[in-house]
C-alpha cells in the first residue's frame, strides 16, 4: 500500500517543446481536435465549447493560459478533458502520449527557472533522467476567480 501511495500517476503532454504533467485522476479523456464553437465575451484563452459526447464542454488553450503563443493546430494537437471541482474543461495541448508513475519524493516544490509561465499554476517540477516535467496545479489553472479577474481586466 505504502509503496503504491508514494507514486503519482500522471499524464505527460507537450507545450511549446516542454513537458508538463497533470495527475491522471483529474483527466477524463484525451481527444483529437474537433470543431470548437466560439463563445464571445470570454477570456482570450477560452477558445469556446465543444460537444463532447453530448456534453457541452468549454475549451481552454493551455498555451495561451500559461502565456505562451497561441497554438497552431496540427496532427499532434490534443484536447485533454480534465475535471476539477465539478467543472469539466478541455485543455488544448500540443501533444499527449505518455503516462508515467512518478515517485512523489522526487517532486521538487521550487518551480524556479521553469520559464515564462505564471508561477502559481506550477505545483512542482520533476527531474527524470534527462527530462524535466512541470507538474501543473489544475485548480489554479482553471480557477474561476482568475477567470473573472481576466474578464474584468478585459472589460
Partner 1 sequence: MDNNPYLEVFIDESKEHLQSMNDYLLWLEKNPEDLSIVNEIFRSAHTLKGMSATMGYQDLSKLTHQMENVLDGVRNERIKVDAEMLDIVFDSVDDLEAMVMDIATGGAGNREVKQVVKMLEGIETGEESTTFALEPDHTANTSVSLSIDEFTRTILEQSKEQGQQNYRVEVTLRENCLLKAARVYMVFEVLEQLGEVILSVPTVEQLENEEFEQSFIVLLVTTSDMEEVEKKIHKVSEIDRVAVAEFLIDSRSTELSSPEENNSSELVSNNRKSEEETASEKTNHKQTGNKTIRINIDRLDALMNLFEELVIDKGRLEQISSELNDAALQETVEHMSRISGDLQSIILNMRMVPMEQVFNRFPRMVRQLSRDLNKQVSLSIVGAETELDRTVIDEIGDPLVHLIRNALDHGIESPDERERKGKNPSGKLELKAFHSGNHVYIEIADDGAGINRDKVIRKAVSNHVVTENQSLNMSNNQVYELIMESGFSTADEVSDVSGRGVGMDVVKSTIESLGGTITIDSELDRGSTFSVQLPLTLSIISVMLVEVQKEKFAIPISSIMETAIVKKEDVMSAHRKQVIDFRGKVVPLVFLKEVLEVPSSHQEDEYFSLVIIREKDKMAGLVVDSFIGQQEVVLKSLGNYLSGTYAISGATILGDGQVALILDSHALIH
Do 93 and 147 meet the contact criterion of CB atoms below 8 Å apart?
Answer: no
Q: How far apart are CA 97 and CA 5, in angstroms?
A: 24
Q: How far apart are CA 133 and CA 126, in angstroms?
A: 5
Q: Does 1 bind partner 1 (CB under 8 A)?
A: no
Cβ closest to partner 1, residue 37 vs residue 118: 37
Q: Binding partner 1 by CB under 8 A: which of 10, 89, 125, 133? A: 89
Q: Binding partner 1 by CB under 8 A: which of 37, 76, 103, 118? A: 37
Question: Cβ of residue 50: shortest distance to partner 1, in angstroms?
Answer: 6
Q: How many CA atoms lie within 13 A of 25 on its CB side?
A: 6
Which window, 17-25, 31-39, 72-80, 121-129, contacts partner 1 (CB under 8 A)?
Answer: 31-39
Cell of 91: 485543455
Q: How far apart are CA 35 and CA 154, in angstroms?
A: 26
Which window, 1-9, 84-92, 109-117, 119-127, contacts partner 1 (CB under 8 A)?
Answer: 84-92
Q: How far apart are CA 61 and CA 127, in angstroms?
A: 26
Q: Does 51 bind partner 1 (CB under 8 A)?
A: yes
Cβ closest to partner 1, residue 84 vs residue 114: 84
Q: Binding partner 1 by CB under 8 A: which of 7, 38, 101, 118? A: 38
Residue closest to 13 by CA, chosen among 37, 30, 33, 36: 30
Q: Binding partner 1 by CB under 8 A: which of 24, 39, 73, 99? A: 39
Beta strands 7-15; 122-128: pairing state: unpaired
Query: Can you give the binding site for partner 1, defined by CB under 8 A?
Result: 35, 37-42, 46, 48-51, 54-58, 86-89, 142, 144, 147
Amino acid at each position: 500500500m505504502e509503496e503504491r501511495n508514494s507514486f503519482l500517476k500522471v499524464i505527460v503532454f507537450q507545450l511549446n517543446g516542454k513537458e508538463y504533467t497533470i495527475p491522471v485522476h483529474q483527466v477524463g479523456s484525451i481527444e483529437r481536435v474537433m470543431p470548437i464553437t466560439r463563445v464571445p465575451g470570454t477570456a482570450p484563452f477560452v477558445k469556446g465549447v465543444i460537444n463532447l459526447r453530448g456534453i457541452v464542454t468549454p475549451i481552454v488553450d493551455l498555451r495561451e493560459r500559461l502565456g505562451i503563443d497561441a497554438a497552431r493546430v496540427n496532427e499532434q494537437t490534443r484536447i485533454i478533458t480534465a475535471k476539477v471541482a465539478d467543472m469539466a474543461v478541455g485543455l488544448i495541448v500540443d501533444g499527449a502520449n505518455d503516462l508515467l508513475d512518478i515517485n512523489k519524493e522526487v517532486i521538487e516544490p521550487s518551480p524556479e527557472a521553469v520559464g515564462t509561465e505564471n508561477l502559481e499554476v506550477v505545483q512542482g517540477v520533476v527531474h527524470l533522467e534527462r527530462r524535466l516535467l512541470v507538474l501543473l496545479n489544475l485548480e489554479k489553472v482553471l480557477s474561476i476567480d482568475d477567470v473573472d479577474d481576466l474578464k474584468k481586466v478585459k472589460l
